[in-house]
Amino acid sequence: MTTKVAVIGSGNIGTDLMIKVLRLSDDLEIAALVGIDPESDGLARARRLKVATTHEGIDGLVAMDEFADVEIVFDATSAGAHRRHDEVLRALGRRVVDLTPAALGPYVVPPVNGDAHLDAPNVNMVTCGGQATIPVVAAVSAVTPVHYGEIVASISSRSAGPGTRANIDEFTETTSAAIEKVGGAGRGKAIIVLNPAEPPLIMRDTVHCLVGDCDDEAVTACVEEMAQRVRTYVPGYRLKQKVQFERVAAADPLRSLLPPGGHGAEATKVSVFLEVEGAAHYLPAYAGNLDIMTSAALRTAERMAAHAKTVTA
């Protein structure tokens, strides 16, 4: 028996997620797509696909007959709007998968801690950049302590809708925190680049981890294995080249990022270069940022739904 879900947000992310539920999931069934602009392309697409819609936001969703059977709600709006959505949905006993950077619930990155918060009323999917890079930080951290992790996410400006642009500050804060809490880095930093190039460029991500002396082969093997795990739900996720290792000289300013007392130790910068090609369910394949976020949310909701069924069985 499928689990009924609704999607709030009829922009790029919400529309892509709706299509993924329809095309890819045997466990979830889309009950409604919710927006605030009656003329949005997402709501028009939903109507053509025979999905119930409302342009009256969370209040419109709650008033819909379809809402009675909804168990999980995806929020693909903005960090500010999510706070009210979460308050309303929790009071009505609905579970929430948050695709905004609001981070009211625990962070979830499927290949790293996908089974850790299956009972949580609200889980947060970090950001597109976080979903692409935190698995790599976690892979390095599994072999050797990561003192500092820095990621740079470069996405096409065409793939960044109004909600994404409004959340830029929250993007950096939430991703930086998740690099530490989920990736295991002592300190984390995130940078996002909205690239205006034409034709649009595919999503690219760079991960730098500052570690001590390390086993290069062990780190490489762990990163490659993690990339394969991500590819099970994001087929377009790939390493652009071999994992890079650079021994950090004693006079290098990077050593200031080592923990107190660690300046005399061996130091290595591990660099990983990623590319994420989208499945083109809604926007073209350059929008890998869209694909990795919605694919991670879909995988998470499916796990939550399966877990709930085993608990009630």
Annotated binding-site residue? 10: yes
Annotated binding-site residue? 296: no
Length of the chain: 313
Cα distance between residue 229 and residue 32, in whole Å: 30
Annotated binding-site residue? 161: yes
Cα distance between residue 220 and residue 229, in whole Å: 14
Annotated binding-site residue? 187: no
Annotated binding-site residue? 113: no
- Cβ within 8 Å of residue 241, ≥6 positions away: 273
Burial class (CB in 10 A: 0-12, 13-18, 19+), 55: middle
- Cβ within 8 Å of residue 33, ≥6 positions away: 6, 7, 10, 14, 15, 18, 42, 43, 46, 51, 52, 53
Burial class (CB in 10 A: 0-12, 13-18, 19+), 96: buried
Annotated binding-site residue? 166: yes
Known catalytic residue at 128: yes
Single out the residue of 301, 305, 266 nearest to residue 99, CA to CA. Answer: 301
- Cβ within 8 Å of residue 205, ≥6 positions away: 129, 132, 133, 151, 152, 153, 154, 273, 274, 275, 276
Annotated binding-site residue? 249: no
Single out the residue of 96, 157, 109 nearest to residue 137, CA to CA. Answer: 109
Annotated binding-site residue? 185: no
Cα distance between residue 278 and residue 298, in whole Å: 15
Annotated binding-site residue? 13: yes
Task: Read off the tokens for 114.
Answer: 């996908």
Annotated binding-site residue? 229: no
Annotated binding-site residue? 35: no
**Paired strand residues for 203:** 276
Annotated binding-site residue? 93: no
Residue with tokens 């009656």: 38
Q: Which of 128, 209, 214, 222 is catalytic?
A: 128
Annotated binding-site residue? 91: no
Annotated binding-site residue? 45: no
Cα distance between residue 263 and residue 60, in whole Å: 58
Q: Which active-site residues does the annotation give?
A: 128
Tell me the binding residues: 10-13, 159-167, 289
Residue positions in the annotated binding site for NAD(+)? 10-13, 159-167, 289
